[in-house]
Amino acid sequence: MNTRLALSLTLAFFFFYGAHAARITFTNKCSYTVWPGTLTGDQKPQLSTTGFELLRGASRSVDVPAPWSGRFWARTGCSSASGRFKCATADCASGQVGCNGAGAIPPATLIELTVAANGGQDFYDVSNVDGFNVPMSIAPQGGTGDCKPSSCPANINAVCPAELQVKGSGGNVIACKSACLAFNKPEYCCTGAHNKPETCPPTRYSEIFEKQCPQAYSYAYDDKNSTFTCRNRPNYAITFCP
């Protein structure tokens, strides 16, 4: 990348966001390597990295500006053996380690984060609405208010019903689909006549996710115990396999 282009991208980033407001530290406590992905929402500039390798026991930090809204996830079973980078779960189909503005292909455990401007109220959650692949947690570091950690520490793959299972080449379950992804029906996807909390209650499938990870979103309207807040510019620790 030439100097002029790099400067232009940097200026564009600060034009939209200003200086960084939070540092996100990713730590991999899984027994295997993961490849975190990052996605900035609202068609804003992407972060300094959109994907990277994180070995077992390793940590890496990424700065996030304010305001900012986006998501993080972990890809597993990744390689470039075919000449194109590809992952067994949560692939972003960029063909590279960086996702470059593409999101995770479900099923994927997601961490969703909105960083407020001027030290306002941040919102964050762990979501299994798009299914599950890796246990994850997010915990604010500093800040004021509730500032509680949100976690999905259970391996939902171990209890995933057969009709939701995604299996790897060795026949083991590597991810668990949401009922919406598996069946594409309004009552599971909260669409059509089921597009309100009153008409889209929990299902026997979402309750499996809820039982394993009660702090995480199990379906679209699972707000009561799943949305967390913190004020005054905390940093965040995101852990894979907490």
From 140, 149, 90, select the one nearest 119 (Cα to Cα). 140
Cα–Cα distance list, 34 to 31, 61, 236 (Å): 9, 15, 19
Model-level pTM?
0.90
- Strand-pairing partners, residue 240, are 28, 136
User: Would you state the pLDDT for residue 17?
Assistant: 44
Looking at residues 9-15, what average pLDDT do you find?
41
Domains and CATH numbers, the chain: 7-155+214-240 (2.60.110.10)
* Contact in structure between 75 and 110 (CB atoms under 8 Å): no
Instruction: Say whether pLDDT at 14 is over 90.
Output: no
Cα–Cα distance list, 157 to 71, 75, 175, 204 (Å): 21, 15, 6, 16
Looking at residues 86-110, what average pLDDT do you find?
98
User: Would you state the pLDDT for residue 81?
Assistant: 84
Write the pLDDT tens digit of every residue in 20-74: 589 999 999 999 999 999 999 988 999 999 999 999 999 999 999 999 999 999 9
Identify the three-state secondary structure at position 158: helix
Identify the three-state secondary structure at position 212: helix
Write the pLDDT tens digit of every residue in 162-189: 999 999 999 999 999 999 999 999 999 9
Instruction: Say whether pLDDT at 217 is over 80.
Output: yes
Write the pLDDT tens digit of every residue in 100-152: 999 999 999 999 999 999 999 999 999 999 999 999 999 999 999 999 999 99
